[in-house]
Copies of this chain bind each other. A is one copy, B any other.
């Protein structure tokens, strides 16, 4: 598979946009940090490498990364947009612990299939979907129970 940096470069030149040191740095750190990062989180980390970078640049670059297919926006319902890596066309959903905020990525082929069918039954052709499962993780249940 093509390297992320190449994917991004290709995307940029296709759109007559430019590869800059800031964009390279943000992509780099975005790839290094696994998980679900808010723009602000990324900004904090990126700033350690380039004191002079601006928040807006991080916001703008994350948007570009989404458009290039390298990142995907996810919204956990707390008003903060997070971004996660997305190689090729991998897809997954989320289980979020309501106690500690831990978020796992999961997929269930059977569910995906049923979603497709459900949409069809209502006359829709699916283009995408989001599923968030909220609950208590094993750790938090133990802590709560143990008390």
A124 touches B136 (CB 8 A): yes
CB of A132 closer than 8 Å to a CB of B: yes
- The count of identical subunits is 2
A128 at the interface (CB under 8 A from B): yes
Contacts of A134 in B (CB 8 A): 126-130
Interface residues on A, range: 20 to 34
> Would you list 17 pairs from A and B whose C-beta atoms are within 8 A, ordered by A residue?
A95-B119, A95-B122, A95-B124, A104-B124, A108-B115, A110-B114, A111-B111, A115-B131, A115-B133, A119-B135, A124-B137, A127-B135, A129-B134, A130-B130, A130-B131, A130-B132, A131-B131
Chain B residue contacts of A1, Cβ below 8 A: none
Chain A positions within 8 Å of B, measured between CB atoms, are 75, 77, 95, 97-98, 104, 106, 108, 110-111, 114-115, 118-119, 122-138, 141
Closest 10 CB pairs of A and B: A123-B138, A124-B135, A126-B135, A131-B131, A129-B133, A128-B134, A130-B132, A108-B118, A111-B114, A127-B135
